[in-house]
Structures are given as structure tokens and as C-alpha cells.
């Protein structure tokens, strides 16, 4: 039986903007699946829609439209596989909701292969009334994993920053939401900029940059208690926090010595270790998943490029050479890729670097793309950009760039996304 551990997020103020994913048309290679309405789903949460939207967001599935669901079997022996073959479905789900007590439900879901004409998955999931949407995400995760062989990420979280104009002021909020953009809750609200959220490996804390006291400062926020701790507020730059894979250190950028350099800070003692030492600006450090190296941005070669430093030998090497600008790197959780921003003649796009072959591929078109972050299953990237109206939005894309879905807010701008690890 699956038990949900719900993070009790500290809500600092009411939300002023609701985030919504705009799901684009599925690509030709998407797997067609029929998600039937859940039987007895009289609750506000439409579980079939949660599951189908999740699968569609991945870009790997195409859910049949509601008007195509011309038959509604309740049991396996009522399925007419020939009908679903004609409708083009490769898979079919039958789900139901049953009350198991006051405020408690059980979800029953079965997944069938239309091609093989057999059941391939059965789930029974107890959930509380307030966790029905989380239950839908869990169901989508299991369907995704059963069909693709890859872990689903719909039960994870995303963090991002919004900027909303209120009368004469700009209000900034650091928010955490479900991976589909719903259930957003504000951790911090400020009239000064908030930047660069970074998840701890366990998904229970966020490091971020705040200008609420005038100068930049780095904080760590505990998502379960709402408490936060000031980590760094030296004179000058305090930026770019990134948790180490074991959660014991932060890689940060400080200019307290007069020049922007990369440091490692012990999370518990706040002791500092200087990693870079050059006349150039060194910033935006990110850890390799094994914790043995760091990639950071530096203009020591005349223009911003990515450099990788071995933390044992302290040897560094340049790893990008194309374009006028390479910055803002982020490792995939499996270490196979790095995504980053590449600029050429004022056109800034997201690039995917294959670390073993040292080759690159463009996955966005620009012109103002930034802040890429990997999904924890390595199969998608979320990044910030601006739409034709100049509004800051987020784009969820597949690694080949063939699928792009937009996350927009109803009022204001959204930026600086960070995808959580799998929260256990």
C-alpha cells in the first residue's frame, strides 16, 4: 500500500497568480491511450483528467478525447478490444473510486494492452480526500513506468519565482507546485527580487537568493516547518546556491574578496572552501551527480563559457566552445547530459550536451531562453523564456525538443524553475 507523505508548506501570503500548463498537440510518435472516466468519481478532482494530462505533458502519450470514449466498460470482460483498436488506442484504463470511511477513499485502476488483449497492471491505492490529485499523479507515474520502463515524475514538485505587478510595486514570490503546475503554495513573498531556487537531495529544503534586505543573501528554507536559515550575506555578491548530492554542502558564488568566485559552504558549520581563483567572474556552479566535480560559468577566456573542476585534484578544463555565450549549466540526474544556455548574436537557446561524446544539440529556438532544469527521470527539461507578448513563461520540453508545453501564470511573469528530486 502506498502512503503519501505530504510536505506541509509554509504559506507566506495568498497567491496572486495561478499557474496553468497549456498542453500542445501530441507529436506523431506519442503512444495513444484511452483513460476512461473513473467510476463513482463524484469528487471535485477529475482523476481521469489528472492522469491523462500528466501523460500528455510528458510528450510521450496522446490521450483519446472524451468524445472518442464511446464505450465505458466497468470490468475486464466487458472490453471490446476491436473497438479500441479502431479508435487507435494502444492502451486502456478502467478506474474507480470507493469510499473507505469519512474523508477516505480507495482508488482501483487497471491498465490493459489493446494490442495484446490483456491486463498488464492493477493498482489499489488508499488516499485521503485532500490527496485525490496526488493519487492521480501516482497512478500516472505507474502507468508511465509500466508502458515505458522509465520512472514517472508526476508526483514530484517544481519550484519557481513569479513577479506580479500590484499597483506601483512588483511582488515576487517563491512557489512550490505539483509537477503539473497545480497546488502552488508560496514559500516567500517579497517586494525585492527572489532568485535561483535549488532543491536539497531529499526534496525537503530549498536554497534561494533574496534581496529583501537590500543586498543579495542566500537562505535555506525548510519546507516541512516553514523555518529558514540565513546562510550567506557577505558584502557584494551572494548568489547561485546549489546543494551537493549528499546535501552537506552548498556551492555558491561570493565576491567578498573583491571578485566573484565559486566557494563550497558546509551547510552545518558554514565553513567556506574557495574553489575558483581567477581575475574573471566565476559563477553559477552545479554539481555532478556523483559529487566529484563542479561545472561553473566563467569569462576567463574572454567570453562566458562552462568549465569543469575536479574536486579532488582541483584541475579545471573548459567544456564549451560554440557560440558567443555559454552559461547556466545543469546536470541530468544520471550524469549523462548537461543542459545550458548558449547565446549567439543575441539569440539565447537551450543546448543539450552529451557528456560521453562531448557533442551538443539545440533543443529550443530562443531568443530569450534560460534557466534549464532536468526532470528527475532525465527525460524532460523545464526552462524559462518569454512569449510573443513579452510575458515570462516556462516551457516543458522533451530532450529532442519535439514536444513543448507552456506553463503560464494568469497575471505576471514566471521564471527560475527548479525541478525537485523524487520526494520520498
pLDDT at 6: 34
pLDDT at 218: 98
185 and 133 within one domain? no
Q: In what order do the strands lie in the sheet with 316-318?
A: 282-287, 293-298, 305-310, 316-318
Q: For 153-165, what is the mean pLDDT?
A: 96
Residues 94-149: tens digit of each pLDDT: 999 999 999 999 999 999 999 999 999 999 999 999 999 999 999 999 999 999 99
**Cα–Cα distances in angstroms (integers) from residue 84 to residues 12, 37, 39, in the given order:** 48, 15, 19
pLDDT at 411: 85
**CATH number (domain holding residue 176):** 2.120.10.30
pLDDT at 367: 95
100, part of any domain? yes
Domain endpoint, select from 92, 114, 148: 148
What is the C-alpha to C-alpha distance for residues 80 and 240, in angstroms, rounded to an integer? 56
pLDDT at 13: 40
pLDDT band at 356, cuts 50/70/90? very high
84 and 67 within one domain? yes
Q: Which residue has the cell 526534496?
A: 203
125, part of any domain? yes
Helix (H/G/I), strand (E/B), else coil: 204: coil
Q: 307 - beta bridge partners?
A: 296, 318
User: What distance, in Å, lies between the first and last C-alpha atoms of the chain?
Assistant: 14
**Is 4 a residue whose pLDDT tops 50?**
no
Residues 60-107: tens digit of each pLDDT: 999 999 999 999 999 999 999 999 999 999 999 999 999 999 999 999
10, part of any domain? no
196 and 87 within one domain? no
The sign one gets for the Cα dihedral 203, 207, 208, 210 is positive
How many domains would you assign to the chain?
2
**Average pLDDT of the chain to the nearest whole number:** 93
**Is 28 a residue whose pLDDT tops 70?**
yes
pLDDT band at 10, cuts 50/70/90? very low
CB 388 within 8 A of CB 344: no
DSSP letters, 50-63, are HHHHHHHHTTSEEE
Domain endpoint, select from 148, 172, 192: 148
pLDDT at 7: 39
371 and 322 within one domain? yes
179, part of any domain? yes
Q: Would you put residue 398 in left (φ > 0), alpha (ψ -120 to 50) or beta?
A: beta
pLDDT at 424: 64
**CATH number (domain holding residue 107):** 3.40.50.10070
Please give the residue range of the domain that contains residue 128: 26-148
278, part of any domain? yes
198 and 81 within one domain? no
What is the C-alpha to C-alpha distance for residues 421 and 243, in angstroms, rounded to an integer? 12
pLDDT at 168: 82
Element containing residue 134 per DSSP (H, E): helix 132-148
339 and 246 within one domain? yes
365 and 253 within one domain? yes
Q: Which residue has the cell 519535439?
A: 402
163 and 141 within one domain? no
18, part of any domain? no
pLDDT at 166: 86
Residues 224-271: tens digit of each pLDDT: 888 999 999 999 999 999 999 999 999 999 999 899 999 999 999 999
pLDDT band at 17, cuts 50/70/90? low
165 and 120 within one domain? no
Amino acid at each position: 500500500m502506498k502512503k503519501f507523505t505530504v510536505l506541509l508548506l509554509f504559506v507566506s501570503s495568498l497567491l496572486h497568480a495561478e499557474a496553468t500548463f497549456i498542453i500542445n498537440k501530441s507529436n506523431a510518435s506519442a503512444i495513444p491511450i484511452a483513460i476512461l472516466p473513473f467510476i463513482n468519481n463524484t469528487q471535485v478532482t477529475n482523476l481521469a483528467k489528472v492522469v491523462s494530462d500528466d501523460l500528455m505533458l510528458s510528450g510521450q502519450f496522446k490521450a483519446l478525447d472524451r468524445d472518442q470514449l464511446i464505450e465505458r466498460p466497468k470490468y475486464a470482460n466487458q472490453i471490446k478490444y476491436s473497438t479500441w483498436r479502431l479508435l487507435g488506442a494502444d492502451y486502456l484504463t478502467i478506474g474507480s473510486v470507493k469510499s473507505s470511511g469519512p474523508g477516505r477513499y480507495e482508488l482501483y485502476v487497471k491498465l490493459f494492452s489493446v494490442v495484446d488483449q490483456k491486463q498488464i497492471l492493477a493498482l489499489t491505492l488508499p488516499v485521503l480526500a485532500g490527496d485525490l490529485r496526488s493519487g492521480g499523479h501516482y497512478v500516472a507515474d505507474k502507468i508511465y513506468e509500466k508502458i515505458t520502463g522509465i520512472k514517472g515524475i508526476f508526483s514530484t514538485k517544481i519550484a519557481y519565482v513569479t513577479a506580479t505587478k500590484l499597483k506601483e510595486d512588483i511582488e515576487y514570490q517563491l512557489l512550490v507546485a505539483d509537477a503539473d503546475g497545480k497546488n502552488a503554495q508560496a514559500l516567500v513573498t517579497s517586494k525585492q527580487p527572489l532568485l535561483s531556487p535549488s532543491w536539497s537531495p531529499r526534496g525537503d529544503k530549498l536554497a534561494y537568493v533574496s534581496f529583501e534586505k537590500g543586498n543579495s543573501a542566500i537562505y535555506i528554507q525548510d519546507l516541512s516547518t516553514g523555518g529558514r536559515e540565513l546562510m550567506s550575506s557577505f558584502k557584494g555578491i551572494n548568489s547561485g546556491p546549489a546543494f551537493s548530492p549528499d546535501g552537506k554542502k552548498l556551492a555558491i558564488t561570493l565576491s567578498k574578496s573583491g571578485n566573484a568566485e565559486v566557494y563550497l559552504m558546509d551547510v552545518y558549520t558554514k565553513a567556506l572552501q574557495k574553489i575558483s581563483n581567477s581575475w574573471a567572474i566565476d559563477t553559477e556552479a552545479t554539481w555532478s551527480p556523483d559529487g566529484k566535480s563542479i561545472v561553473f560559468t566563467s569569462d576567463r577566456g574572454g567570453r562566458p563559457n562552462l568549465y569543469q573542476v575536479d574536486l579532488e585534484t582541483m584541475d579545471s578544463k573548459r567544456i564549451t566552445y560554440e557560440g558567443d555565450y555559454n552559461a547556466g549549466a545543469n546536470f541530468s540526474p544520471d550524469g549523462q547530459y548537461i543542459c545550458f544556455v548558449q547565446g549567439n548574436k543575441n539569440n539565447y537557446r537551450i543546448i543539450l550536451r552529451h557528456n560521453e561524446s562531448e557533442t551538443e544539440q539545440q533543443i529550443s529556438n530562443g531568443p530569450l531562453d534560460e534557466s534549464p532544469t532536468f526532470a528527475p527521470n532525465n527525460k524532460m527539461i523545464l526552462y524559462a523564456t518569454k512569449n510573443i507578448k513579452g510575458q515570462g513563461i516556462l516551457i516543458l520540453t522533451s530532450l529532442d525538443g519535439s514536444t513543448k508545453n507552456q506553463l503560464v501564470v494568469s497575471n505576471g511573469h514566471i521564471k527560475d524553475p527548479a525541478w525537485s528530486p523524487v520526494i520520498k
